[in-house]
Structures are given as C-alpha cells and as structure tokens.
Amino acid sequence: MFDRLEDLLIRMEEILSELQEPDVASDQNRFRKLMKEQNDLSPIVEAYKEYKACKQTIEDSLQMLEEEADEEMRELAKEELNESKARVEELERELKILLLPKDPNDDKNVIVEIRAGAGGDEAALFAAEIYRMYLHYAEGRRWKVELVECEEIGIGGMKNVTFMINGSGAYSVMKYESGVHRVQRVPETESGGRIHTSTITVAVIPEAEEVDVQIDEKDIRIDVMRASGNGGQCVNTTDSAVRLTHYPTGIVIYSQTEKSQLQNKDKAFALLRAKLYDIECQKQHDAEAEARKSQIGTGDRSEKIRTYNFPQGRVTDHRIGLTLYKLDKIMNGDIQEIIDACIAADQSAKLANMNE
C-alpha cells in the first residue's frame, strides 16, 4: 500500500509541474484531464502527507522521552505521542478506503426512473412522493433536475416518472437508491382505515456519453407527434414530442417535456444511450458474481431495499439494518444519513473482501 502511495505522491508532483507548462493552458483537453487527475489524487495525497507527519511526530516524541529529563516536557511528549498514534490508526483506515477501486461511473450524472408497482393508485401516489423527495434532496445539493418523461394519474400520483440529475458525483450517491421501495400506511382512498402495503421501483442509471455507446442509425426509428397533457404553451399544437424505437433491444423512449422537437430528441437519445450503457453494465455485473461480496445488497433492482412505515413514522433500510424515526424529514429530502450509512457499509464490505 505504501509503495503505491509514494508513487501517487510522485505523480501529484508531476501533475503540478505539468500544469505550470505554457503549452498545457492552450490545450484545453489536456488541461481538463490533468485538473481532474489532480482533484482525484488530492484527498489521497493530503491524507498520506498527514500520515507521514504523524509518523514523524511519533518518532520525535519517543526520542524526547528518551532524552528529556524535565517532567513537564515529558508529559507534553506523551500527549503528542498518544494523539499521533490514534491519528495514525484513523489515517490508515482512511487511506485504505481512498485506495479502494473507484466505480468508473461515480462522477457521472444520472437518469432516475421511478415506476409504481403493486398497490394501484396508492403506489402511484407514493411514486410521486418519492419523486418529490429526490427533487428536495437534489435541490439541497444544488444539483440540476430535468424531467424527461412522466405519466400522471388524476389524483396527483405518477405511474412512472423519468428525470435527469446533473451534479458532481451524482451517481456515486444516488446509486444506492436503486431497488424496490415499500410503503406501509392507510391510503387516502381507503375508508376502512386498514394499513396497506404498496411498492415502487427506482432505477438509477449513469448518464452515457456518445463515446460510451455507439448507436447505429439503422437500428433506430424516430417518430414525431403532438405532445399530450393538460394544456399549456405548445402542448397539443406542435409536433414537438419524440418517440425513439431501438430495434435490437425493443426499447422505446418517449420525450415531450420540452417545447422544441430538437430538445426532446436530445433528451430521448440521452436516455436511450444511458439504457444501452446500463444493459452492458448489468451484463458485466452478472458476469462478475464475485464482486457482489463487496456490494450493499445484491445490486438487483428487484431487491426490496427500504420500507417507509407511516403509522410508526419510521424508515428502515433492509440492506444495512438501519432504522430512523424521522419519516417526515426523509420524505422532505433529508436522506443523507441513509446514503452515508450505505456508503460506509459498502466501504467496510469492500475492505473486508480485500482482506480475505
């Protein structure tokens, strides 16, 4: 591990030196690549520098204890020694986590699909609430959200909704939301007051660039049509909606949220690229069965990951055994504690897998 850290320290010095070269500033691609590498390495390098400083403090404190006769100075040396030893242990764990293999999709934007499952109208209502939960969460992180597709029902629910989240490291955080979310409560439409259980599914897909996925024009059919909906400017008056059909996979994408046909077409292609990229990622995931040992849950989107129990005001994440009694806050977008716990559990599982 420490040989690798020394190599990274040298690499950081090389990057800083390269960034000072005049020709780098004029080459935007090279400049961006170096800046990204610098940003990726900075947390590791800073932690390693602190680790080395703490190790030096330990040596100096031990030497002082051997040579120093003054009792007050010896006490100071002992205090520094204990603090540095404790910090070294913390930093060793931090460095192991920082050196874990990084998911290549972590820095990407995401496309989120929410679909109502079992439970009829109640499931559609819950799908709309989970959509709003993610909107509030994204807003708190200053991420940009763009609606791609939505099928609403008359009472304020959503049979399905697809949206894009643009933000730094969005996939690294949102990927833990994929799976089946279950709600337990008395539905507004239920006069008997009985608790019902309904489900929705959430799929979080990394956004794919054109270089990630090549789409052959012969494999695509593009249809344009008038947007449908509850009225509003351009709706039902222009052929702005776009439907893409991908023959090899049978995937159909429909986009109508933008006013112009071109914008809807761009969104539809972005979603298609992401879905095709996700299919390839899932194939790789299935092929690498051993990697599942280091994942939170199975990584399967049919897995029940979380239950929202309204009568008791609690939310339980079944993958990590976490229960929180702050349902109202969570439904308003306060999900960071759950995500942090998932990240920590994921890291611990990967560390344990490395040590096997």
> Do 110-207+288-355 and 217-283 share a fold?
no
Residues 6+ apart with CB under 8 A from 236: 226, 227, 228, 229
Tell me the pLDDT tens digit for each residue of 34-75: 888 888 888 888 998 998 999 999 988 888 888 777 788 888
For the domain made up of 217-283, give the CATH fold: Double Stranded RNA Binding Domain (3.30.160)
Mean pLDDT of 10-36: 84
Residue spans per domain, the chain: 2-98, 110-207+288-355, 217-283
Tell me the pLDDT tens digit for each residue of 252-273: 888 887 778 888 888 888 888 8
Q: Which of 110, 176, 111, 165 is nearest to 137 (CA)?
A: 165
Alpha helices in the chain (DSSP H): 2-19, 22-26, 28-67, 71-98, 121-140, 170-174, 261-287, 327-331, 336-355
Is pLDDT larger for residue 89 or for residue 233? 89
Q: Which of 355, 356, 352, 343 is nearest to 102 (CA)?
A: 343
For the domain made up of 110-207+288-355, give the CATH fold: Alpha-Beta Plaits (3.30.70)
pTM above 0.85, yes or no: no
Provide the 3-class DSSP secondary structure of residue 200.
strand
Q: How far apart are CA 106 and CA 321, in angstroms?
A: 24
**pLDDT beyond 60 at 136:** yes
Tell me the CATH class for 2-98: mainly alpha
CB 202 within 8 A of CB 178: yes
**pLDDT beyond 90 at 309:** yes
**pLDDT beyond 80 at 180:** yes
CB 129 within 8 A of CB 119: no
Q: How far apart are CA 244 and CA 217, in angstroms?
A: 11
Q: How far apart are CA 118 and CA 247, in angstroms?
A: 29
C-alpha distances in Å from residue 186, one per residue of 94, 129, 130, 162, 249: 45, 15, 17, 27, 40
